[in-house]
Amino acid sequence: MTAFSIQTTAEDHRIAWFTALAITIHIIESALPSPLPGLKPGLANVVTITVLILYGWKAAAWVSILRVIAGSLILGTFLSPTFLLSFSGALCAILALFIADALPGKGFGPMGFSLLAALAHMTGQVSMAYIAFVPHPGIWQLFPVLIGFAVLLGASNGLISLFVLKRLT
């Protein structure tokens, strides 16, 4: 059997490190009680936003997706409805960040990115919930409430990211 080795780059190491951090935060957070099932502060997103600003969108996308998949594998929710919701939320969030990052001009700071990601994440989740689980139009009456939460959490995660970035640079 010929041995083979995978060549890793410094970027790979970075992404792995941040992903591991994000996963850890995610798992710790999942142990905490929440007012609404499925509603979490999403502190792992601080890592995503920080990576976005420091290393660009691609790195942030990797960290985010890997975190959702690995996190669900570890927690045992892989391919469950919960996973489906998280994944669609994460996907929407990354897309929103891609668009926001690509916009010309001075652009957004961690506060703006965090808010956008939170809004996109929540919208993606509720849409997936409507399509796949609760196809009742009444779900949209809940939507503004959830978006309200998303705004608060997006803002607070943004502040935390701001703080972290200041400390790192």
Task: Specify the stretch interacting with another protein by CB under 8 A; choose among 4-12, 19-27, 79-87, 90-98.
Answer: 79-87
**């009456």: which residue's tokens?**
141
Name which of 70 and 155 has its Cβ closer to another protein.
Answer: 155
Task: Specify the stretch interacting with another protein by CB under 8 A; choose among 13-21, 55-63, 87-95, 134-142.
Answer: 134-142
Instruction: Supply 43's token pair.
Output: 């502190």
> Between helices 44-55 and 139-168, what is the axis angle to 10°?
60
Name which of 103, 24, 25, 91 is nearest 60 in CA terms: 91
**138 binding another protein? (CB under 8 A):** yes
Number of residues binding to another protein, judged by CB under 8 A: 32
**């994440």: which residue's tokens?**
121
> Between helices 10-30 and 44-55, what is the axis angle to 10°?
160
**142 binding another protein? (CB under 8 A):** yes
Task: Specify the stretch interacting with another protein by CB under 8 A; choose among 8-16, 55-63, 78-86, 90-98.
Answer: 78-86
Collapsing DSSP to helix, strand or coil, 142 comes out as: helix
Measured CA to CA in angstroms, residue 68 lies from 7, 23, 105 at distances of 25, 8, 31
Considering only 24, 54, 74, 82, the residue that binds another protein (CB under 8 A) is 82
**116 binding another protein? (CB under 8 A):** yes
**115 binding another protein? (CB under 8 A):** yes
**140 binding another protein? (CB under 8 A):** yes
Q: Concatenate the DSSP letters of all residues of 34-86 into one string.
A: -SSTT----THHHHHHHHHHHH-HHHHHHHHHHHHHHHHHHHT-TTSHHHHHH
- How near is the Cβ of 107 to another protein at its closest, in Å? 6
- How near is the Cβ of 113 to another protein at its closest, in Å? 9
Positions touching another protein (CB under 8 A) are 36-38, 77, 80-82, 103, 105-109, 111-112, 115-116, 119, 133-134, 136, 138-144, 147-148, 151, 155
